Amino acid sequence: MDQTVFQNLRHQSVGDLRLVIREGSYTGHTAGLGAGMLQANLVILPQDYALDFMRFCQRNPKPCPLVGVSDTGDAMMRTLGRDIDIRTDVPAYNIYRDGKLSAETMDISDLWRDDLVSFALGCSFTFEHAAIAAGIQLWHIDNNTTVPMFRTNILTVPAGPFEGPLVVSMRAIPEDQVDLAVEISRKFPLAHGAPIHIGDPAEIGVADVTRPDWGDPAPVPEGSVPVFWACGVTPQVALEAAKAPLCITHKPGHMLVTDVPQDAENPVLRPST
Amino acid sequence: MDQTVFQNLRHQSVGDLRLVIREGSYTGHTAGLGAGMLQANLVILPQDYALDFMRFCQRNPKPCPLVGVSDTGDAMMRTLGRDIDIRTDVPAYNIYRDGKLSAETMDISDLWRDDLVSFALGCSFTFEHAAIAAGIQLWHIDNNTTVPMFRTNILTVPAGPFEGPLVVSMRAIPEDQVDLAVEISRKFPLAHGAPIHIGDPAEIGVADVTRPDWGDPAPVPEGSVPVFWACGVTPQVALEAAKAPLCITHKPGHMLVTDVPQDAENPVLRPST
């Protein structure tokens, strides 16, 4: 990915950005793009699994904040924006078969079926933007790495075949900014809301805070506190447990960029039919 | 209903209150009972309708804030409290067949089937408690009447067979307390959140604010403003449109009282298996 192209994309409308992605001209991550608009994790499942997956999201709203659900077999995400074709408008997809990652692709048109249902789940980009705007420095962003993520000893509330541990992301926050970080993130329930734990990693089953299960390591400097938020990798682990014959997700970091303002009280736009 | 019994119930725990209801010893409304705990509207549908109804709730979160969903065929609402049997623990039920109200009953044990799914939706009692605590007087409560409700010209976002107008409740708020009422209700997204309209009723298709479509009339005194919130009657109208062969709801005002604190960040309790 050419850095100049990325810089140009930053100044495009979300509609134009999605068109560039649809044409296959951009297949990179979406952090920093679509400024001010909600970005979302994507999960596509056969309808046989859809009701249980919606129950799983309802029962685990902090890791799985549901922001949109398609009609069965409809490739358009009609409540999240104008002309969002879920088969082409995400930069990169992961294909799971029987719970195992089997392929990565930039377009899922050839995999689309009449029984598929698409789910969009809120992601942490939203509160990170707000935190940075409030003067909180985030190490992984300043250093262009992926936020460290950890499997915890907290279990999700299961639904049908969907179950597993809560996964959290960790951001080291200066002691005197912890209250501010909590206050800001609490305002964004669709971006995982307030932290689920502040302080001693061992209390939530994290043995070594410098060795994440996913993402890149990040330091916890003297004077900073490790703060843990529910993470969108949680549903991915539950999807692996469910072993659906087919499941399609976005490739991590390569999100669906919507037309919904990230500070919207609710994420539903009236479809233009 | 004897007023002394009601006064006694006010001092019972929610668990004891539900037992009294389960035994059939109390069949009245639940306003003012179960202090501090979330109360919920109830919708029970065959599984064939469940996925579309969940989509309808996701697409219309202000009138239909989903707080709990049972497993298919499971009569227990496991994420809303300890030992909640949905067949017996609501004071009174309405039975709809093909979209038409066909009966009222105090116990649905004989109607229970293996394919039924129960949905609990947040209700306005939560924000009314908070508004009163903040010094806002609510006429319908002071006068022991039902809040006035109106059909609007705003359409819900449909899902499958579920569709219809947004229904709103109206509370006349003194001009100098409108901002406060907005601020308080916004804090309770599971109790319909912030108002959908403030002021001129005609703008949302309400021709005469003194003649509600449901509930009792309430005055809008000089110096007060009519404020309209999304209302839990909205899904009821959508259910009538969907014409499911069987649908069971609570009788209006006769809510499910849960073990979830009404100011909880999310309404899901970990089931004790």
- Cα–Cα distances (Å) from B136 to A144, B176, B200, B221, B262, in that order, read 50, 10, 21, 14, 18
Q: B72–A51: do the CB atoms touch at under 8 Å?
A: yes
Q: Is the pLDDT of residue B273 over 70?
A: no
3-state secondary structure of B65: coil
Report d(CA A3, CA A43) in Å as an integer: 29
> What are the chain B neighbours of A69 within 8 Å (beta carbons)?
54-55, 58-59
Q: Which residues pair with A42 in a beta bridge?
A: A120
In tens, the pLDDT along B208-228 reads 999 999 999 999 999 999 999
A62 and chain B in contact, CB less than 8 A: yes
Confirm whether the ipTM is greater than 0.90. yes
The answer to whether residues B68 and B120 touch, using CB atoms and an 8 Å cutoff, is: yes
- Which of A45, A51, A162, A229 would best serve as a mutation to test chain B binding (most B beta carbons within 10 A)? A51
Residue B261, token pair as written in the block: 């604190």
B54 and chain A in contact, CB less than 8 A: yes
Total beta-carbon pairs less than 8 A apart between chain A and chain B: 67
Closest CB from B47, B60, B266 relative to A62: B266
Nearest to A121 by CA among A201, A58, A200, A169: A58
Closest Cα in chain B, distance from residue A9 (Å):
30
- pLDDT string in tens for chain A (273-residue length): 556 777 788 888 899 999 999 999 999 888 888 878 999 999 999 999 999 999 999 999 999 999 999 999 999 999 999 999 999 999 999 999 999 999 999 999 999 999 999 999 999 888 898 899 999 999 998 998 889 999 999 999 999 999 999 999 999 999 999 999 999 999 888 999 999 999 999 999 999 999 999 999 999 999 999 999 999 999 999 999 999 999 999 998 899 999 999 888 889 998 865
Q: Is the pLDDT of residue B241 over 80?
A: yes
The mean pLDDT of B191-214, rounded to a whole number, is 96
Q: Please report the domains of chain A, with CATH numbers, ordered by start residue.
A: 3-124+242-261 (3.40.1640.10), 125-234 (3.30.2040.10)
pLDDT for residue A273: 54
Nearest Cα residue in chain B from A52: B71
A118 and chain B in contact, CB less than 8 A: no
- Which of A163, A266, A269, A273 would best serve as a mutation to test chain B binding (most B beta carbons within 10 A)? A266
Nearest to A203 by CA among A168, A175, A156, A163: A168
A194 and chain B in contact, CB less than 8 A: yes
Nearest to A56 by CA among A245, A235, A189, A252: A235
Q: Is the pLDDT of residue B1 over 80?
A: no
Q: What's chain B's average pLDDT?
A: 94
Q: A58–B69: do the CB atoms touch at under 8 Å?
A: yes
Closest CB from B54, B157, B186 relative to A270: B157
Q: Which residues contact A76 (CB under 8 A, 6 or more apart)?
A: A70, A83, A84, A85, A86
In tens, the pLDDT along B101-147 reads 999 999 999 999 999 999 999 998 888 988 999 999 999 989 988 89
A66 and chain B in contact, CB less than 8 A: yes
The answer to whether residues B262 and B129 touch, using CB atoms and an 8 Å cutoff, is: yes
What stretch of H or E contains B21? helix B14-22
A189 and chain B in contact, CB less than 8 A: yes
Residue recorded with tokens 């920093």: A32
- Which of B59, B71, B156 would best serve as a mutation to test chain A binding (most A beta carbons within 10 A)? B59
pLDDT for residue B229: 97
- Chain mean position to CA A190: 10
Nearest to A35 by CA among A120, A122, A119, A128: A128
**Strand B37-46, strand B256-261: pairing:** antiparallel
pLDDT for residue A254: 92
A152 and chain B in contact, CB less than 8 A: no
Q: Is the pLDDT of residue B2 over 70?
A: no
The pLDDT-based confidence of B35 (bands split at 50, 70, 90) is: confident
Report d(CA A66, CA A263) in Å as an integer: 15
Q: A160–B58: do the CB atoms touch at under 8 Å?
A: no
**Amino acid at position B144, single letter:** N
Phi-psi region of A125 (alpha: psi -120 to 50; beta: other; left: phi over 0): alpha
